[in-house]
């Protein structure tokens, strides 16, 4: 198990907190809520060690489009980068609906 922390600048407020996903095989849960300092913070706990660079790529790309000041917590159970991106997108959509 490995812990990864990433921070991003943000411009928009997050309307409401949401929870999506499950810590099941090949899946992850995402907890997205407004952060308290106007910046975005991501805290990842993953079952697969040694993929820090890939996590940073996935999150860099996500935050190139998403500007929410979100505190995101991820519990990952071996999801592929594609699944991670989809779950993040799902969380954003639900937080805006």
Partner 1 sequence: MSAAVPDLERFLKRRSFIELSARDRAEALLDPGGYHELLGPFDRLHSPWLPMQGIVPQEDDGVIVARGRIDGQPAVIAAIESAFQGGSMGEVGGSKIACALELARQDHEQGIPTRPVLLLETGGVRLQEANLGLAVIAEIQAAIVALRRHVPVVAVISGMVGCFGGMSLAAALCSHLIVTRQARLGMNGPEVIEQEAGIEELDSSDRQLIWSLIGGEQRHAVGLADTLVEDDAVAIAEAVRDAFRRGLPKQPRSEQVKLFLERLAAIDPSQPLDGKALRALWDQGATA
Among 8, 10, 14, 29, the residue binding partner 1 under the rule CB under 8 A is 29
d(CA 57, CA 59): 6
16 makes contact with partner 1 (CB under 8 A)? no
Among 47, 56, 83, 89, the residue binding partner 1 under the rule CB under 8 A is 47
Residues 79, 29: contact at Cβ < 8 Å?
Answer: no
Using CB under 8 A, list all residues that contact partner 1. Answer: 1, 17, 19, 22-25, 27, 29, 31, 33, 45-47, 73, 75-77
């Amino acid at each position: 198990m490995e812990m990864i922390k990433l921070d991003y600048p943000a411009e928009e407020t997050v309307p409401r907190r949401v929870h999506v996903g499950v810590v099941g095989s090949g899946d992850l849960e995402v907890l997205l809520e407004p952060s308290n300092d106007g910046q975005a913070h991501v805290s990842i706990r993953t079952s697969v060690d040694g993929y820090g660079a890939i996590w940073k790529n996935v999150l860099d790309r996500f935050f190139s489009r998403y500007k929410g000041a979100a505190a995101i917590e991820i519990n990952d159970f071996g999801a592929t980068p594609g699944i991670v991106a989809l779950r993040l997108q799902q969380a954003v959509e639900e937080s805006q609906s």
